Amino acid sequence: MTNILEAIYNLTQLTNLEVKEFTEGNNRVLNVGEGLEIFVKNAFANTFNISDKKDRLKQFNEHFSYQGSKRTPPDLMLKGGDAIEVKKVENLNSELQLNSSYPKAKLFSDSKLINNHCRNCEDWTEKDIIYTIGHVLKKSKKLSSIWFIYGSIYAADASVYTSLKDTLTKSIEDTPSINFSPTNEIGRVNYVDPLKITNLRIRGMWLLKPPYKVFDYLHQYSSEKEFQCIAIIPILKYNSFEKESREKIEALTALTINNELIQDPNNPVNLIDCKVIRYER
């Protein structure tokens, strides 16, 4: 079974960090954002050096239970393991665009934001989620840095976000002279014009500060390095991984692994014990 520690190990073995635009399957050209998702998929499945498509698909089938789409989270789910959400930025200071999907501390099978294929791909009710943020240089398409951040130290409880959505929905719903329809988003206003042929769909656009800013107090990032991989993992989660994976990553002299205290997203004066893994070259 693969996990985040195996993915980090596989990244340390790479020499080529280019994230390409390329053609796959039905000749559809994949953009760099989709290319990053495939890059992350290869990191978890250890398929960077497998050129035969049938062999790669077998590896993917062995390690993943679900691969998502742009419309619904997550991007990937590990069999019996974590969910993975991949985001690409071309500027370290750029906010992450989550669209109508609010930040998640965990992923739940009864969420209205996931589809039935995700819900039924395996027997599960709750998964930890890893936000994987790749900084891809615009001109060279080279991966400059990649961050692996667990949702439990990046996002507050779901009620923080859903209560805001419910407040906005109720405010619009209670406005006189508006024909309102509830949806999974904020809502929909019908019959805006006298002909009653125009409707207004009200969507949320959730934006999340990048880890470069959120975790600046760790002083882990260096702009002088060619490539950096930074992972922040709650210690309880780290200790839950197989001993083999932990020993494998801890034996790498190219890595630094430190214990750090991270602010609790629900109560910032509370601090969470975490492992911070850093690889650079």
| pLDDT at res. 169 | 81
Domain assignment present for residue 192? The answer is: no
Residue 47 clears pLDDT 60, i.e. is over it: yes
Residue 167 clears pLDDT 80, i.e. is over it: yes
Domain assignment present for residue 269? The answer is: yes
Identify which has the larger pLDDT, 56 or 112: 56
Residue 122 clears pLDDT 90, i.e. is over it: yes
Residue 94 clears pLDDT 80, i.e. is over it: yes
Which helix (H) or strand (E) element contains residue 281?
A: none
Average pLDDT of the segment spanning 4-23 = 83
* Buried-state track 11-42, b at ≥16 Cβ within 10 A, e below 16: beeeeebebeeeeeeeeeebebbbbbbbbbbb
DSSP code of 174? T
| Band of residue 20 on the pLDDT scale cut at 50, 70, 90 | low
Residue 271 clears pLDDT 80, i.e. is over it: yes
Alpha-carbon torsion, ordered 241, 242, 248, 252, to 10 deg: 20
Q: What is the pLDDT of residues 28-37, one digit of tens each?
A: 444 777 889 9
Distance between CA atoms of 188 and 184, rounded to whole angstroms? 10
- The answer to whether the beta carbons of residues 249 and 276 sit under 8 Å apart is no
- The answer to whether the beta carbons of residues 248 and 9 sit under 8 Å apart is yes
Q: Which residues contact 265 (CB under 8 A, 6 or more apart)?
A: 105, 152, 153, 154, 155, 156
Q: What is the pLDDT of residues 205-241, one digit of tens each?
A: 899 999 999 999 987 778 888 999 999 999 999 999 9
Domain assignment present for residue 248? The answer is: yes
Question: Angle 42-17-87 (CA atoms, 0-180°, nearest 5)?
Answer: 65
State pTM to two decimals.
0.90
- The answer to whether the beta carbons of residues 19 and 35 sit under 8 Å apart is yes
Domain assignment present for residue 150? The answer is: yes
| pLDDT at res. 105 | 97
Average pLDDT of the segment spanning 55-80 = 93
Distance between CA atoms of 46 and 2, rounded to whole angstroms? 9
Q: Which residues contact 170 (CB under 8 A, 6 or more apart)?
A: none
| pLDDT at res. 27 | 43
Looking at the 3D structure of the chain, how many domains does it have? 1
Residue 274 clears pLDDT 60, i.e. is over it: yes
Average pLDDT of the segment spanning 129-153 = 93
Where do the H-state alpha helices sit in 17-98? 32-45, 53-63
Residue 127's closest CA among 118, 135, 136? 118
Average pLDDT of the segment spanning 133-157 = 93
| Band of residue 23 on the pLDDT scale cut at 50, 70, 90 | very low
| pLDDT at res. 164 | 87
Domain assignment present for residue 195? The answer is: no
Distance between CA atoms of 275 and 101, rounded to whole angstroms? 27
Burial environment of residue 70 by CB neighbours within 10 A (0 to 12, 13 to 18, 19 or more)? exposed
| pLDDT at res. 29 | 40
Distance between CA atoms of 164 and 102, rounded to whole angstroms? 11
Distance between CA atoms of 265 and 37, rounded to whole angstroms? 26
Domain assignment present for residue 194? The answer is: no
| pLDDT at res. 25 | 46
Percent of the chain with pLDDT over 90: 64
Q: Which position has the token pair 């390690």?
A: 63
| Band of residue 252 on the pLDDT scale cut at 50, 70, 90 | very high
- Domain range spanning residue 213? 4-158+205-280
| pLDDT at res. 24 | 47
Distance between CA atoms of 86 and 90, rounded to whole angstroms? 14
| pLDDT at res. 21 | 52
